[in-house]
Structure 1
Amino acid sequence: MKLKELPLSWWTARKLAAVKVSELERKEALVLPVIVSLTSIPSRLDIIHLTIRSLLLQSKRPEKIILWLNEQLREYLPASLSQLQNSVFEIRYVELTCSHRKLIHSLAAFPEKIIVTCDDDLMYNSTWLERLYDDHLRYPRSVIAHECRLIAFSGRGVPAPYDQWKTESRTDFSAPWLMPIGYGGVLYPPHSLHEDVQNRELFLQLTPRADDLWFKAMSYRAGTETRRSSNPGNKPIPIIASQKESLKKTNVKQDGNYQQWLALCEYYKFC
């Protein structure tokens, strides 16, 4: 986290934490036909309640928020998280340990539902979900994301290193190799991903630490357009002390994203 982000993060966290638990189950709020799906790791269990609170306080709330955790964490939930469970937010336990669980289990449990994924170390603006859904109404068959990168290839058709995949600044924009970035939130319409999405042996072989790349490959294989939203808004606010453990250290700084995307391209003959 950058030093200049600390004051806003601290203020937002205090504001969210001050909302009484009884006020989070907002039955009067307009409900969108959407499942918000996410996962977490042991080092973030003490802070993820802030993410969940921001999701429960959306201007138009989802019909369900599901946090998928590894089975071994069942006995280690802090009260700050467990007390938030209500008719909207629930925690489900699975054996899978990789980050892919944030989506694949919801795809299986709710095959006809719109599923929106997000990250567990951020606090989301109150209109975050509404803005994604508004674009879904305009492009009902597209994967919609607030943040994207454009996958780059060399002149020989070989994938370029990840640091050459430029962050996309254009809004309401689509391209074949536009890749959703999970932290901004990604909306998946029903049946928008290829059936291989559930092939655990394959995604653990090709993209063990890069669920964003796996899901991009699966949308591309299904012929589903990816589109950056028309109104991305401000970026989500990082939670203080949430980056002690992060996939960014291997996927970006050690160019793990490049190696895993290369594995996908070779297996599926993308290039």
Structure 2
Amino acid sequence: MWISYVLGQAVSFFFTLFRMIPLAWNNHFSRRRFPQEGDVVISLTSHGDRLDRVHYTLESIARGTVKAPVVLWLDEKDYRGEWPKTLRRLVGRGLQVRCSDGLYGPHTKYWSQFREVAGTGKRVATVDDDMIYPEWFLERLLFVGDLRDDAVIAYRAHRIELRDGDLLPYVKWTAADTCRASFLHFATGVSGVLYPASFIAYVVEQGDVFRELSPRADDVWLHACALRSGHRIRQVYASPRNFAVVPSTQGGALVIGNTLMGGNDEQIARVYDGDDVARLVAASRTED
């Protein structure tokens, strides 16, 4: 599954370059502003050299058919450092940049934002900083989210595979092939995920124990929280959607470590307990 994803991104490389041209133009000349309030917030993080290219992701969101406040979370070093002109232009149009505690790794893109909106009834959509999102990205995510406010909504999900009551290794999980909500679906954040207010409240109540259990696999921790809190995961479409990757962002580094090197399996073993596995087994019997 991960091989097809990587190959698909390689094939689309040159098409992506053409997509980037109008985004660069918009960064220099667009007057589109980000709203400051709304019932959903888009949250992401970036760091280091990736700040030089995050404007492509942000401009792709800014052109969306549905608008929402966007918050970019940076660790203190990057927050206090000098930002590129491309990012400063976006701030001038209403992009909100906040300073994170710097302790959360990949969890940064959701954790501080969850804490900020917990109890307000607001939803949070997370995105990655190395993707180009289509104009309809948020519109369709919210459409499905309005239908299922008790579910986590994702453009891309895996199906957790089991054998004889045990979880198979992560690399043997398959692509979800239905838009039916399921505990067996495992949302991957790369293409964007929408989290309902009830789920956000639950995650915040658990605190930051993920720092010990799943420090480099935010998707693992968030799925375990969904399973325990009764929030199924629904894919927007029957098939996963993979959006274009901004070239030279080295966005696959975490994927390689967590997928090919077994990092996800190590963290899954720490996060999921016997009750979690039993819930998944029960789901496999009732949902198939």
Task: Return the match for 1:204 from 182, 189, 211.
Answer: 211
Q: 1:165 aligns to what?
A: 173
SS in 1 for 2:199: coil
Select between 15-24 and 215-224 the one with higher mean Cα deviation: 15-24
Whole-angstrom CA distance in 2 between matches of 1:26 and 1:68 = 19
TM-score, normalised to structure 2, is 0.84
Residue 87 to residue 23, structure 1, CA distance change in 2 (3 Å): closer
Whole-angstrom CA distance in 2 between matches of 1:224 and 1:165 = 20
Q: Residue 260 of structure 1: CA displacement? A: 0.8
Task: Return the match for 1:40 from 46, 60, 76.
Answer: 46
Which whole-Å deviations, capped at 9, do the CAs of 1:205-239 have from their partners, x for residues lacking one? Answer: 11010001111111111111211114778521100
SS in 1 for 2:272: helix
TM-score, normalised to structure 1, is 0.89
Matches within 5 A, 1:22-33: 23-26=30-33, 33=39
Q: 2:122 aligns to what?
A: 113
Q: 1:15 aligns to what?
A: 22
SS in 1 for 2:141: helix
Task: Return the match for 1:93 from 96, 99, 114.
Answer: 99
Amino acid at match of 1:82: R
1:264 aligns with 2:284: no
Indicate the RMSD between aligned Cα atoms, in angstroms.
Answer: 2.3
Q: Residue 83 of structure 1: CA displacement? A: 1.8
* Contact 1:102–1:117 under 8 Å retained in 2: yes
SS in 1 for 2:99: strand
SS in 2 for 1:191: helix
**Gaps spanning 5+ residues in structure 2: where?**
1-5, 279-288
Residue 120 to residue 146, structure 1, CA distance change in 2 (3 Å): same
Q: 1:216 aligns to what?
A: 223
Q: 2:259 aligns to what?
A: 252
Q: 1:147 aligns to what?
A: 156
Q: Residue 268 of structure 1: CA displacement? A: 6.3
Residue 268 to residue 246, structure 1, CA distance change in 2 (3 Å): farther
Which whole-Å deviations, capped at 9, do the CAs of 1:81-137 have from their partners, x for residues lacking one? Answer: 122114641110112241101111111111221100011111100001100000011
Aligned length, in residue pairs: 265
1:236 aligns with 2:243: yes
Residue 195 to residue 136, structure 1, CA distance change in 2 (3 Å): closer
Q: Higher helix proportion, which one?
A: 2
Amino acid at match of 1:190: A
**Gaps spanning 5+ residues in structure 1: where?**
none
Whole-angstrom CA distance in 2 between matches of 1:138 and 1:198 = 27
Whole-angstrom CA distance in 1 between matches of 2:251 and 2:147 = 39
Q: Residue 33 of structure 1: CA displacement? A: 2.9
